[in-house]
């Protein structure tokens, strides 16, 4: 890759809303945009439910032209609300997405956490993460992004030993750097339902535990976007942390043309039942939190508000 990986490495001086920084030089870079816009949210819900434009229009009581206008970004309030209800989305959260007036508050991790954002597929980007125990200096990476240079720079700068590489799922943008990370001697792990194509890779069952000093990592299967999509629940940091891969994004959900209902159900049962203060580290887009997604995610807010 010709563009450098960027990272936010938490430290004692971190502010509540800390900008993303380059791994070694402290250069400020723009915050990561939300991965899905209003049209993408509609597309995922519509495709997941198997509705074409005519079927959606009929279900929502609007015209096909109204549906087309919504997908083009012309979110007329009445049509937007009708479509939200027809798709099982929260109308208020969907309106926020249309107005682009929400961005998740970014949590502070005083130590032991780093986020990396690398480019892929034109203007898109993908995230990978690093956690470590500050006493033993043992570390684990979650996914690789398209370029692991920044992650390896952080390992060196923090004088860490990379013990594990945990893969959320095997889409190319999440595993492109596996070979290079394996050269460090780190163990490569993924779900038994979706093994990594590397000769030294290992697989786990659900509810397996790994430890790094005072940190614990639990494997939670959240398939739908892919057969072996895994969420990793980490305790021992400043906040409970769930590395969710493409199960969930800030204000959206991981896409699936064939297993959308499975993805939604597994997210609701296994992610939305985690502690309320859990930080969500998504495969794309910014960090978010379970509390914020309960209020702002169109796919889940309506049900969360009823609890």
Give me the chain's average pLDDT, please: 90
pLDDT at 5: 47
Query: Residue 197: what pLDDT?
Result: 94
Strand partners of residue 130: 114, 141
Confidence label for 133 from pLDDT (cuts 50, 70 and 90): very high
Q: Is the pLDDT of residue 245 over 60?
A: yes
Condensed to tens digits (0 to 9), the pLDDT of residues 272-292 reads 999 999 999 999 999 999 999
Mean pLDDT of 121-130: 92
69: helix, coil or strand?
Answer: helix
The strand pairing partners of 289, in sequence order, are 279
Contact 232, 242 (CB under 8 A): yes
pLDDT at position 65:
96
Model pLDDT, residue 7:
53
Is pLDDT of 256 > 90?
no
pLDDT at 21: 39
Q: Which residues contact 11 (CB under 8 A, 6 or more apart)?
A: 110, 111
**Of the listed ranges 12-26, 96-110, 244-258, 292-306, the one predicted with least confidence:** 12-26
Confidence of residue 304 (pLDDT cuts 50, 70, 90): confident
- CATH of 7-32+103-306 among 3.40.190.10, 3.90.380.10, 3.60.15.10, 2.60.120.620: 3.60.15.10
Percent residues over pLDDT 70 in the chain: 90
What's the pLDDT score for residue 31? 83
Q: Which pLDDT tens digit goes with each residue over 162-209?
A: 999 999 999 999 999 999 999 999 999 999 999 999 999 999 999 999
Name the token pair of 80: 């937007």
Tens of pLDDT, residues 23-66 = 333 334 458 999 999 999 999 999 999 999 999 999 999 999 99
Question: pLDDT tier at 305 (50, 70, 90 boundaries)?
Answer: confident
Q: What kind of fold does domain 38-99 have according to CATH?
A: 434 Repressor (Amino-terminal Domain) (1.10.260)
pLDDT at residue 30, as a whole number = 52
Sequence-distant (6+) residues with CB within 8 A of 80 are 70, 91, 94, 95, 98
Domain boundaries, the chain: 7-32+103-306, 38-99
- pLDDT attached to residue 307: 62
Task: Please list the alpha-helical segments (H only) found in 22-104.
Answer: 38-48, 53-60, 64-71, 77-87, 91-99
The residue ranges of DSSP E strands in the chain, in sequence order, are 6-9, 21-22, 113-120, 124-132, 138-142, 161-166, 187-191, 202-204, 209-212, 215-221, 230-235, 241-245, 248-249, 252-253, 279-282, 288-289
Provide the pLDDT confidence category of residue 75 given band limits of 50, 70 and 90.
confident
């Amino acid at each position: 890759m010709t563009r450098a990986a960027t990272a936010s490495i938490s430290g004692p001086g971190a502010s509540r809303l800390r900008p993303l920084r380059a791994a070694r030089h402290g250069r400020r870079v723009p915050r990561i945009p939300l991965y899905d816009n209003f049209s993408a949210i509609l597309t995922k819900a519509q495709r997941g439910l198997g509705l074409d434009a005519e079927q959606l229009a009929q279900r929502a009581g609007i015209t096909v032209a109204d549906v087309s206008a919504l997908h083009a970004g012309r979110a007329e309030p009445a049509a937007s609300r009708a479509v939200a209800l027809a798709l099982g989305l929260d109308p208020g959260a969907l309106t926020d997405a249309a107005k682009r007036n929400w961005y998740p508050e970014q949590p502070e991790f005083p130590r032991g956490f780093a986020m990396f954002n690398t480019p892929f597929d034109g203007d898109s980007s993908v995230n990978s993460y690093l956690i470590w125990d500050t006493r033993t200096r043992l570390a684990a990476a979650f996914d690789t992004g398209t370029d692991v240079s920044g992650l390896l720079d952080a390992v060196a700068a923090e004088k860490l030993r990379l013990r594990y590489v945990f893969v959320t799922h095997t889409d190319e943008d999440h595993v492109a750097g596996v070979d290079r990370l394996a050269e460090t001697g780190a163990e490569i792990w993924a779900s038994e339902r979706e093994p990594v194509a590397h000769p030294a890779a290992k697989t786990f069952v659900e509810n397996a535990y790994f430890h790094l000093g005072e940190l614990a990592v639990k494997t939670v299967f959240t398939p739908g976007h892919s057969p072996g999509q895994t969420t990793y629940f980490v305790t021992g940091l400043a906040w409970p942390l769930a590395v969710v891969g493409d199960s969930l994004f800030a204000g959206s959900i991981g896409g699936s043309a064939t297993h959308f209902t499975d993805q939604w159900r597994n997210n609701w049962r296994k992610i939305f039942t985690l502690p309320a203060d859990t930080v969500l580290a998504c495969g794309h887009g910014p960090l978010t939190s379970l509390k914020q997604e309960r209020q702002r995610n169109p796919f889940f807010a309506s049900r969360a508000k009823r609890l």
